[in-house]
Chain A
């Protein structure tokens, strides 16, 4: 009843006017003009200016399995890895795998990298690169025609002193001193890796009518409401922990997997990767609900979730 009444009571609330489906182009255009600098920076040094060029170089972060070797015993590795692969053969078939030897510590000197690579290949994996600090192993990797990844950036001196068993300083410390801090600092490499993924943009207030928030390349999280007449754009997902009454454009750089989540759905317009729906075209049953919006087969879908599904 309340949502129904609200729907009737705001007959004209937040209805934007848009000239047909050609709006798709204009949504991109408005994003582009905002992001000219960013795009120019991305394209610097690539082939975008000359259509006849054979390639484009782009930086990209891919998800790849990393084998952290703890012991140089290849027979033990083969047996245990075999067991692991048998549980999910499809996941491991021809999978590219990076080898991290920094966890080996001193015993790295005794490792035969060529034999390790043969072992992995015989198990159906495709080693693509090695991460190591030892110059000897580095040369072995180059000889085995593997890529060499830069070692994880050095940790700050005080954190290094508390690192786990593989750290030379830490090995001599009493176990108590290596309690919680050691766990924290051992996690540090992965935390640093995560920092390379752009952090979400967080807006702690309401976004008022006439205001515009742009989060290029990242998620956008709004802790308040987004008023009618306001506009929020994000390269990735949009989360609104309040009412969404304005315009929300997720995946504004073309990411079709981006989604919009909001606690109370009553937008002027929602768009994902340029595909948009204006308020007028929305099913009244969704208004005021907690929903997510996503793209499926090129069309926007609105699904209630969370408390609406439960209660």
Chain B
């Protein structure tokens, strides 16, 4: 039975697309056939972050409007066999996205994939509502700062009331908290909310933190999901998150600032 996972946050710039790409690639690395759908019509980025921007011919809206088939629009990742991308349209108007059209596509994808990852646009407008509508589970991506936490809180409320599961009074959407751009040093100095603070406010199950990392920027710019980058701390954090999502028990990492030795303190290494 395929699982639809929405990656959402409310606020922009917190790392939804990075998380979608890393999480989708991580699921595929673990051998699950996965498709990542970009719902950000007009501001698509997922194709860039996943490095397939030069292979986009048909997109989500073409499929909805019958201008191309689903097979033509799905882009197979060159690095991992089980990973596919369904890009958004960059030129079309957002209003072209319809709930009925998306439902039809998701129903077709459910036949072929184990995981369908929906990369939601920011905000609480139509695009975000449609991206979350068919979700079975949700990754709520939050930065450890108050505005992001409040927006995530708002989104969690909507997951419980505005999705298809809520409308049909089925089991609620299973929410997972992912805290990105985490800097333990700044938490220690009192300039950043701690992961514990965020968990307490949002009160949903916690999947893990992703440390603020240069490798995320490098990965995005070179079109590689960060989970495919060797030696990246953020990539390891995302793999832990994927494993915990799949039910594995992984100890939490990156919550504490690394201990600096005497020499590095003295010489600033």
Contacts and interface: CB of A to CB of B under 8 A. Distances in A.
Partners in one complex: yes
Interface in B197-234: 197, 200-201, 203
Specify the main secondary structure of chain B where it touches its partner: helix
Interface string A226-257: 01111000000000000101000000000000
B107 to A, nearest CB: 29
Report, as a range, how many residues of chain A touch the other chain.
Answer: 20 to 34
B146 A13 contact: yes
A256 to B, nearest CB: 32
A205 interface: yes
Interface stretch (B19-27, B43-51, B148-156): B148-156
Interface string B132-165: 0000000000000010001101101110100000
A8 interface: yes
B203 A209 contact: no
Contacts of B261: none
B154 A245 contact: no
B153 A228 contact: yes
B190 interface: yes
A296 to B, nearest CB: 31
Contacts of B109: none
B160 A209 contact: no
A209 B153 contact: yes
Contacts of B56: none
Interface in B150-183: 150-151, 153-154, 156-158, 160
B193 interface: yes
A10 B197 CA distance: 10
A225 B203 contact: yes
A241 to B, nearest CB: 13
A227 B153 contact: yes
A228 B150 contact: yes
A63 to B, nearest CB: 40
Contact of A209 (B157, B190, B197, B200): B157
A5 B187 CA distance: 12
Contacts of A208: 153-154, 156-157, 160
A229 B193 contact: no
B157 A210 contact: yes
A224 interface: yes
Contacts of A225: 201, 203
Contacts of B153: 208-210, 227-229
Contact of A227 (B150, B158, B193): B150
B156 A9 contact: no
A12 interface: yes
Contacts of B154: 208-210, 229
A227 B202 CA distance: 8
A209 B150 contact: yes
Nearest to B194: A9
A205 B150 contact: no
A248 to B, nearest CB: 16
Contacts of A209: 150-151, 153-154, 157
B146 A227 contact: no
Contacts of B157: 207-211, 230
A206 interface: yes
B148 to A, nearest CB: 12
Interface in A180-224: 205-211, 224
B150 A5 contact: no
Contact of A229 (B150, B158, B203): B150
B173 to A, nearest CB: 13
Nearest to B156: A208
Interface string A1-37: 0000110111011000000000000000000000000
A5 B189 CA distance: 11
Contacts of A243: 200-201
A211 to B, nearest CB: 5
Nearest to B147: A12
Interface string B112-146: 00000000000000000000000000000000001
Given A8-B190, A208-B153, A229-B153, A245 B160 contact: no
B103 to A, nearest CB: 26
B146 A10 contact: yes
Between B146, B160, B190, the greatest number of chain A beta carbons within 10 A of the residue's beta carbon is seen for B146
A9 B150 contact: no
Nearest to A9: B190
A8 B200 CA distance: 17
Q: Identify the 9 closest CB pairs spanning chains A and B, nearest first.
A: A208-B157, A209-B153, A209-B154, A210-B154, A227-B153, A211-B157, A208-B153, A209-B150, A13-B146
Interface of B: 146, 150-151, 153-154, 156-158, 160, 190, 193, 197, 200-201, 203
Given A9-B197, A228-B146, 16 more contacts: A5-B190, A6-B197, A9-B193, A10-B146, A205-B160, A208-B154, A208-B156, A208-B160, A209-B150, A209-B153, A209-B154, A227-B153, A229-B153, A229-B154, A243-B201, A245-B201
